Structure 1
C-alpha cells in the first residue's frame, strides 16, 4: 500500500469543516506561503510515514463522523499516495473536504490524473495560497480573501450562500502529559496567545 507522510490526525473535530469530521494534516508543502501559521508542516522528512490502508481503517472506525477534511502542508504534493485513501473514504459514504494552496486552474493546467481525481472526489474543495496582505477571517475555514470555497456536490451546497452565518471554531486538547494541540482558524496573533495560555494551563497540576 502507498505510504503517506502525515503531520497529525484528529479522529473527530467540529472545527475543520461542516459537522463532525475526522481531520488529516499531511506533511510537506511546495507552496510555502509567507506568513503561514504552520511552517512546521513544510518539510516532508519531518512527517510520519503512514500506511494508507491502516489509516483508512482508522478513519472508518471513528463513530459519529460525517466526513474527512484534509489539510497540510500541501495534500496534492502526495496525490498518488493520498488518492486510494480518499477513494476508500468516499466509497463508504463519508464526505470529503480538502484544502490546496494551488488554484483549480493551476491544477487543471498541470494535467496530473491523480490530482484531478482527488479534486473530483471532493464535496468541498478549497483552493489558493494564503496571502498575508489579503488576510480575512470573515468566512469560515479560510484565512485570506483570495481563497475560494467550491461546493462541488449537493452534499453541502445549502451552505454556499450561508457562509456569513458560520462561525470559525477553535479546539484545544491537553493530554495527560501536558502536551497541547490547537486546531481551527484564528488570526495569527490570537492563535499564538491561545497556544501560550493552553501551554501554561497544561503545566498546571490538577
Structure 2
C-alpha cells in the first residue's frame, strides 16, 4: 500500500501543478467573463428602460390623431387656407353672422332713435308756429272788433320766453381785494431862494 500513496513520479507532480495553475487561471477568466456579462446586462437593462421611454414618446408623436392634428395645423397656417371653402364650421360662421347682425340692429336702433328725436323737434316747432299764428289771428280778430291796435312786429316775430324761476342756489359774488390808495398831496414844495 505504500506504492499507491506514493506519487507516481515527478511527471505526475508537474502535471498536477500545471492543472492547478490552469484551473486558477480558468477561474480568474471565468470571474472576468461573468463580471463583463453582468456589466453588459446592466447596460442592456438601462438601454431598454430608455428605449421604453423613447418608444412611448415616438408612439405618441406618430399616433394617427397627433399626425393628423399636426398636418391640420400646418395646412391652416398656410395663407392659402383662407381661400378654401369650409364645410364643417357652420356653427362658427353662424355665430359670426349673428354677431354682425346684432351689431347692425344696434346701429339701426340708434339711427331710428335719432330720427324720432329730430321728428319730435320738427313737430314741436310746427306746433309752436301754429300756436303763434293762432294767437296772431285771435289778436287781429279781437283788435278789429274792439279798436285797431297795431301789434308790435318784434313781439310777433319772437315769442316771449317764459320767466325763469328764481334760483335757490347761493350766489357767489367775486370780490376784489381792497387796494390801498396813495394820497397825493397837492401842496407845492418850498422853493429855494
TM-score, normalised by the number of residues in structure 2: 0.16
Q: By percentage of residues, which structure has more strand?
A: 1
> Computing the radius of gyration over CA atoms, which structure comes out larger, 1 or 2?
2
Q: Which gives a bigger RCO, structure 1 or 2 (Cα 8 Å, sep 6+)?
A: 1
